Homo-oligomer: A and B are copies of this chain.
Amino acid sequence: MTDVTHQKWWGWGVEGIAFHYDDKPHFAAFVQDKVGIDLSQPGTPPPSFSDLEISASRLPEDLGAQLRAAVGDHQVSTDDMDRVVHTYGKGLRDLVKVRAGDLPRLPDAVVYPANEDQVRAVVDAVVAADAVLIPFGGGSNISGSLTPQADEQRPVISLDLGRLNRLLEIDEGSGLARIQAGVLGPDMEEQLTARGWTMGHQPDSFRHSTLGGWVATRSSGMQSDKYGDIADITRGLRVVLPGKVVVLRPLPSTSTGPSVREMILGSEGRLGVVTEVWVNVHRLPENREIIAYLFPNWAAGIAAMRDISTSDASPSVTRISDANETAFSLATRKESKGISGKVSTGLFELLRRRGWDLEKVCLSYIGYEGGSAKVRAEKSVVGKIVSKHGGIKLGKGPGALYDQKKFDTPYIRDFLLDRGAIGDVSETAAPWSKLPDVYQGTVRATKEAFATLGVTGFVMCHLAHSYHSGACLYFTFAFAPNVDGDFLEQYDVVKSAIQQSFMDTGATLSHHHGVGTDHAPWLEQDISEAGTDVMAGLLRSVDPGRNLNPGTLLPAHREW
């Protein structure tokens, strides 16, 4: 058996870690009020694996023999648990389906190659057999990019890159590292920091996502303002295609025509298998601080973020939560720790006397990195902008707390599902001038969807990444669906309303979660029908037989 470990088959993260609220005294009341769930009632635990009905593997004998010859007998698995784990990512849709035992098409085998030569052998064998290949990293995808098409008649092979997990070399003179694509975030950063370096890429999924997965979906981390999106960080690539390997050497910039690097980025397995990535790496910063601020309202906070983006300061993190998300943060705080120490006592009373409407307060985090002089100067520039927009500084304590807790959020979705509620996210990006419309339009569309369904629901938002010309808005929503209705149909009403609102207000279908199958219906609205023609032409030219992760990226009517 392989030694690659996986997330829970039914939810986020590893066994034994889950969201709990026994140390968060305000949480139960908040959830009761906003989502209409009574947490004093016992939840329904996830189903037992033994209850699942799992169809037998249809791996043809010939192909099985070729795969075993390629990677070794013990690295080809037709084990039920392996196949279930590799059937879905961790999207809301995935979690609902797997909990319901809805498994229309599992991969017929999971293959664990140890190196690029083995990847080549697997890719060639799969394509020669007219089978389907789905590359798999940490399995954290939430856009539906990992699931075999329900009606797929050909054999389906999940290619797990988990054994390609080594830092291969650091070019210290250039700040570049060559790293295998299957490495998980923490493992990679441990190998880098042991030598004094960091990549600085920290998506929410960090603990359970891989470098190759980040590349394949155009990921972005919470420090992207300094370190860039994965598209900026990625400088070179090795990608296995049927019968060949694309080799893009590490370059700071180049003018070699339409960028093949930028075609592989975001290709979600349809242009081959990424095996190695050259990435920008940085020396660990001398100072690193995350400071919390409060703004009297969302408009003031957004205006401040925009002013910071055109100022002489260049923070590593710019983040502001709307009033709802700020209230959520306060509701999940522990007693007398972190932010609560300041806000729960005299501060809010003081702000009220200053004329703040406490229902509208927005919490912001700004990160600073670099030498003392730079950090000091930037804090001064930001401080003036915060004041100009009526905000105040809270300090380092809440920032440090945020920094520690930042990877815990995905566990809440499973907690809610245990209790019959749906929680999910949709994120986007748009020019600064359009953000008010995007925000108001999306909040309105979400509430209208709740009303249509007749459910109690909640939507909150934060600005997560700033650029010269705009920013990413990240929405989280939760509601208690009607128990007599189909969960996913109700989910689709809300999710579709949000995605359509993005299109209608000039925003994109996703800033960093990719297209997958969930967002593909909006691709033509986003990049135009003619733009979709160009993308489809590229995919078809590389993979005329639709052997490489078919069904993701393009809307169904665009498949050939």
Which of A's residues lie within 8 Å of B, judged by CB?
Answer: 171-176, 217-220, 229, 231, 235, 239, 241, 244-260, 262-268, 271, 280, 282-283, 306, 310, 312, 314, 370-371, 373-374, 377, 429-434, 465, 467-472, 506-515, 523, 526-531, 533-535, 537-542, 553
Contacts and interface: CB of A to CB of B under 8 A. Distances in A.
A217 B549 CA distance: 32
A233 to B, nearest CB: 9
Contacts of A257: 218, 266-268, 514-515, 523, 535, 553
A268 to B, nearest CB: 7
Contact of A465 (B229, B253, B271, B508): B253
Nearest to A553: B257
A469 B514 contact: no
A248 B377 CA distance: 38
Residue from the set A217, A254, A470, A509 with the largest chain B CB neighbour count within 10 Å? A254
Contacts of A538: 258, 263, 534, 537-538, 541
26 contacts: A174-B470, A175-B468, A218-B254, A219-B255, A220-B253, A220-B255, A231-B253, A246-B527, A246-B530, A248-B531, A250-B470, A251-B431, A252-B471, A253-B465, A255-B514, A256-B266, A256-B508, A256-B527, A257-B514, A257-B523, A257-B535, A258-B535, A258-B553, A260-B534, A280-B469, A537-B542
A253 B229 contact: yes
Given A258-B267, A373-B312, A252 B534 contact: no
Nearest to A173: B433
Contacts of A174: 431-434, 469-470
Contacts of A542: 533-534, 537
Contacts of A370: 312
A553 B259 CA distance: 12
Given A373-B312, A538-B538, A541-B538, A431 B176 contact: yes
A251 B429 contact: yes
Contact of A244 (B260, B283, B508, B529): B529
A257 B217 CA distance: 7
Contacts of A229: 253
